[in-house]
Amino acid sequence: MELLTDDLILRTVTRADIDEIARMWNFFQGGVSVEEAHGALEYMNSNHARNRSGILHHLCLAVCRKNDPARIWGWCGLDGTVRPERPEVFVLLHESVRGMGFGTQCVKALLSYAFDTVGLHSVHGGCDKDNIASARMMENAGMRRYGSMESGDPLFIAGKSPCDI
């Protein structure tokens, strides 16, 4: 599976990507072993196999730049493990590519996929109250803040139509 944005390719990974998966899976802690990367690939594939029209258990896509499609710069997707009919968007980008609008491109592509391909009616999001960049990313992608958790962490929603929000 592949989603295209102006600058990015958001795609599923294969065994050919195993070294990049090892480098970037859990990248904020230095990556994982090749053996763990194989486990991550199996985990992603088994989750993708459970997704169907109107239900999205989990979708994790590699974030690659169009000018370097083999290199993974982060991960994005939709997590419906708690509520498959109302997944939450997530974006994890390597610090070297943050602040370039790539997160917003990821969220826009994921929302389009969720509504137009999967047939979902709403997608949710959230972030730490101090993570202003993530809040801005969701707002710039068209999500609307609708409240906050007890901790003050903001909550966002996007709907296929205004009636779905």
Domain limits, the chain: 2-164
pTM value > 0.85: yes
Model pLDDT, residue 164: 62
pLDDT at position 74, please? 97
Phi-psi region of 61 (alpha: psi -120 to 50; beta: other; left: phi over 0): beta
pLDDT-flagged residues of the chain (< 70): 161-165
| Superfamily, domain 2-164 | Gcn5-related N-acetyltransferase (GNAT) (3.40.630.30)
Q: Is there a contact between 109 and 5 (Cβ–Cβ < 8 Å)?
A: yes
Q: Contact 84/114 with Cβ under 8 angstroms? A: no
Confidence (pLDDT) at 27: 86
Residue 160 pLDDT: 83
